[in-house]
Amino acid sequence: MSMDAAMTDADARFARLADEEWTWRLGQFPQLATSVGETAHDDRLERVDADSRAARLARWRAMREALAAIPVEAMSPAARIDRAVYENQLHGLIAAIESHADRMPLNSDSSFHGPLVDLCDAQPLGNPGEYRRFLARLADIPRFFDEHIALMREGLATGYTVPQPVLEGRDQPLAAIAGLSDAAATPFWKPFTAFPAGVPAAERAGLRDEARRVIEDQVLPAYRALLAFLRETYVPNARRTTAACDLPDGDAFYAAQIRHYTTLALTADEIHERGLREVARILAEMHEVRRQAGFDGDLPGFLAFLRADSQFHARTPQELLAHASWIAKRIDGLLPKFFGVLPRQPYGVAPVPDDIAPYYTTGRYVPAPRPTGCAGTYWVNTHDLPSRALHTLPALTLHEAVPGHHLQIALAAEAEGQPAWRRHSFVDAYGEGWALYAEHLGDEMGVYLTPYEQFGRLTYEMWRAARLVVDTGLHARRWSREQARAYLLAHTALSAHEVATEVDRYVGWPGQALSYKIGEITIRELRARAERALGARFDLRAFHDAVLALGSVPLGLLEERIAAWIAARLAA
């Protein structure tokens, strides 16, 4: 057999294995299936009972063994990239169960029940069949909640719980729904207020009657039962400690989180020290920008001035949203100078929903489910306006909208030549690293118009550098929440409210905060390497296109592919 034939056979064996597992995975995670346009599972939710989780672990371990039997050297270069991305996905799926992270299905930032209020916006609803699948999915909520309650009981029994201190008050979105008695007052009723033309008038009353029955007799009682469990059992008995290293086999748990979120073989100590060096570097730049702003006092005084002065805060939610929208549109006009390939999908700007805003981060990008025909959304938190600084909005917009998350995620989803399991994945170190790189790129793009906005960029970069120190401090060195808050308050211009929210996010989500700065450092180092190697032949637009064309990949693979890109440019 020739090498070409052997490579073709190895590629085909890998593609068959990965595609079969992806099809199976969509059946295991129906909401994921809906989000990528596979509607066959729109009538149900995920199973998290012990048997289902054990079956997943067995399947993924078997896949790992099957992949090991396919020789990498027999695969084509393109298939090797696919394989590296797939193996990283497989590693994360296995590690989540083996490390028992799956026993903690909620934290201070997100939860298994949170996305349910948006179900009607996530799946197509254009005809009676689609409405009936939606109603069947709603009717599956009681089973979904019961299995999660059993899962959290397992976490309580084995010591794997979210820390109690960061759970206080996080039940408010649940309580807002559990306290309702009328189906029409719930977010689930939205599709039944007005029907599309595809639903015949003769069927609308019956669908409304069925919706009322499902929501009032099944969904709302399930919400009340879950709320009671959280308030009466879970939160009172959750662990009081905040460090991941205090979990059973906590050092191994945190090491697994670091590996998952950075995709690199780094230790907590290495990350902590790198964070301290980055903090020192950024601090020197902050002093210089403070002087450019003409502020006579010291840095703590400047931070206090930025937090308190009314010129840096919007007076109304609409003013904040309007300012964010103007910045976003201005950046849109600059993109062609820095990118050769742009996505087709647009995005909009909207407030963080009221029910989660008090405990939510400053902003976030929300991708649009593929089949709905919707745009992506750049969420801006309009809660507690004195804590939302206008001078940080350019950096936030660059990160969450363009050229950050929206640009990267939309381009990845539109990469039709890649397998679906690759187009719809998100590697935190790559995705968050790219978004933080986008904040830095905003300086070259001319987005920051004043020294205050430049300082906003630096305080956001400092925020992410400080995360390296704070996350490892909390979870490997047993820092208290107070220590972590004091560190952020001393080094960033974040408001006290934002600092408290962020620290609780790190406590409840160990390791995720590390992905941003580790990823950004890698991308900036790769750009510097390309600039040195190519000199006058370096093309920034081409470099950006090369990075983004990969989709969302582990950092080691990104380094490998950019090295190949540099070599190809040198040989041209």
CA dist., res. 457 & res. 309, Å (int): 18
Residue the block writes with tokens 């995975």: 25
In this prediction, the residues of the chain whose per-residue pLDDT falls under 70 are 1-7, 370-373
Q: Cα(443)–Cα(5) distance, rounded to whole angstroms? A: 49
Q: Which pTM was predicted?
A: 0.91
State the residue for tokens 């949203």: 321
Angle 141-158/128-139 helices, nearest 10 degrees? 30
Query: One-letter amino acid identity for 481?
Result: R
pLDDT digits over 433-481, tens only? 999 999 999 999 999 999 999 999 999 999 999 999 999 999 999 999 9
**Amino acid, single-letter form, for residue 3:** M
400 vs 435: CA distance, rounded Å: 7
- Answer yes or no: are the C-beta atoms of 111 and 171 closer than 8 Å: no
Q: Measure the CA–CA gap between 411 and 418, rounded to whole angstroms.
A: 11
Which DSSP letter does residue 225 get? H
Taking the CA atoms of residue 235, residue 239, residue 244 and residue 250 in that order, the dihedral angle to the nearest 10 degrees is -130
Closest CA to 458 of 392, 381, 364, 389: 392
Q: Please report which helix (H) or strand (E) contains residue 161, including its range.
A: none
Strand order in the sheet with 376-380: 347-351, 376-380, 363-366
Where do the domains of the chain lie?
3-241, 256-520
Distance CA 343, CA 552 (A): 15
Which residues does residue 379 pair with via DSSP β-bridges, in sequence order? 350, 364
Work out the end-to-end distance of the chain between its first and last CA atoms, rounded to an integer number of angstroms.
Answer: 33
The confidence score (pLDDT) of residue 498 equals 86
The secondary structure of 5-28, three-state, reads HHHHHHHHHHHHHHHHHHHHHHHH
Q: Strand 347-351 relative to strand 363-366: parallel, antiparallel, unpaired?
A: unpaired
pLDDT value of position 7: 56
- Angle at CA 264, nearest 5°, toward 261 and 270? 95
